[in-house]
Structure 1
């Protein structure tokens, strides 16, 4: 059988002493993929991305899987992917895509290509004064400050005029500032899982009451969403706007603007959770796509 590596990290592998609070999503992915991969003649092997190169012997292709600490070690992560690629191991998604997607400034490229994006200010750091200035620019009372290199709402700050940080507060990271959009709590975030450029399934993610973050770590919930033709077309337009051919997998996260159009929040191309519970055919679809790649 062809051996396929599923890259995990020190806090998602089952053998970890103290796993992340959302490590159950890793387990759901493996439970979904492993049987379908076996049926397609693929042997799915979970491996920590920081394992020595020798541990990757005989692996033909690696998926970036649940390598959910990469943002803490971005350079080391890229170097490992490049080293695997140099050994003739197919990396999905490839290092050049990871390099482009790792920093949220890729959203500017998508906007330049015609994608509808959320209004954003880009700053090397943010102070309390800068947060207030952003509210003036966006004509809003609430903004969200996010890391330019980050994942899973890590380190995000929701700042409002009524609860400004101390005058000496500093975000401490290259940042992106966006207006808070009530749609996140009303309709929720719509996610479109795309395999080899084709829509696999879609879902709606809603935050817990009183929160705005939709990740399971913060009590967010997910439900199957049957996208309209217009919604599916909006997600397809983001895939078409990428500066490279459609990758093996992608998750396009979108939020509705006040005029009803969908805006892209994220084009997740590195190690997105692909929500197999909402897409029961995901394992078979991915296994087929990888088997096709192995034959070409």
Structure 2
């Protein structure tokens, strides 16, 4: 019998909603990957990570796909993650835990990766936001939680707005850590690039653009996505970033922005449930399917050794 891989999503995306392009795209991406895996002898089943009827401890192969609500139920998600067998996840569990908190950006910087300058404001810090900004000499900022996604509680503030935001920020910071970054102006004209790395190889890229008047590139806020032709520079950058992360991810996405001196900076590395945009490059799905196949073969070889 073919091996079964559980594609993990969330409750909102279990049922296909005809006419809802957002959910249709999720199903399309899973179908593309599922078909590629089927050609290698695998089956897949889509399940929600919050499905209490599943005995997660006994699953062999789990691919986290679209658990895009994990930050809304963070403690529950962590408990669920710990229930999975150590080798069940295609990306190692310790990497997934590490990647849930944007503190990881500072770890990347220590490895020599150029990131957007980032300062962590710990939970319940006594200093007002305006003091942090003054000391860092920023004129235009982005402030957001270290555990978040889909632009949750993400604020873009200019110098004249920051002092007035101190009280509101104190209330927010009382609940969780935040990350403070200078605003990168290129996001409003050029946008952000997402570079997909599958089995160690950078396979394809997309350019995400914010709608006019906004800075958020997510399609939740009217952003658009466009195929982007890879260059040697981009391939080398994406593969270098992924190769510096240990244990090395089986798959991931490297998001980058250009700074004012036209240099690339890493804005995010997505290793938990990255959207991989196979619908913009369907033939690239074979790289993830083969990486999963190789991972599973290694898994069985390791378990069959005396």
Structure 2 length as normaliser, TM-score? 0.86
1:287 alignment partner, one of 264, 289, 295: 289
Indicate whether 1:176 and 2:174 are aligned.
no
Residues 1:167 and 1:267: Cα distance change in structure 2 (over 3 Å): closer
- Residues 180-195 of structure 1 mapped to structure 2, 5 A cutoff: 180-195=183-198
1:41-98 C-alpha deviation (Å, 9 max, x unpaired): 1111100112236455875311111111111222322322222215xx6112222011
> Could you tell me how far apart the structure 2 residues matched to 1:239 and 1:167 are?
37
Match of 1:8 in 2: 9
- Deviation track 1:14-53 (CA, whole Å, cap 9, x = no partner) reads 169xxx9943442232132122122221111100112236
Contact conserved, 2:195 with 2:254, CA < 8 A, in 1? Answer: yes
2:268 aligned with 1:249: no
The secondary structure found in structure 2 opposite 1:100 is helix
Moved more, 252-261 or 68-77: 68-77
Alpha-carbon contact 2:66-2:275 (below 8 Å) kept: yes
Is 1:224 matched up with 2:222? no
Residues 1:240 and 2:243 are matched in the alignment: yes
Superimposed CA distance per residue, residues 244-280 of structure 1 (whole angstroms, 9 cap, x where no aligned partner): 1321110000111122221110111101111112221
Q: Displacement of 1:107 after TM fit? A: 0.7
CA RMSD of aligned residues (A): 2.5
Structure 2 matches for 1:125-140, cutoff 5 A? Answer: 125=123, 130-140=128-138
Measure how far apart 1:195 and its partner are: 0.7
Q: Which has the higher mean CA deviation after the structures are superposed, 73-82 or 111-120? A: 73-82
> Once the two structures are superposed, what CA deviation does each residue of 1:149-185 show, in whole Å capped at 9, x if it has no partner?
1112111111123334455212333100111111111
Give the corresponding residue for 1:64: 64
Number of paired residues? Answer: 291
Alpha-carbon distance, 1:140 to partner: 3.6
**Matches of 1:126 and 1:190, distance apart in 2:** 34
Match of 1:94 among 85, 92, 95: 92
Deviations 1:209-230 (A, max 9, x none): 1110011101111111112212
Q: Could you list the runs of 5+ residues in structure 2 that have no partner in the other structure?
A: 299-306
Q: Which runs of 5+ in 1 are unaligned?
A: none
Pick the structure with more helix per residue: 2
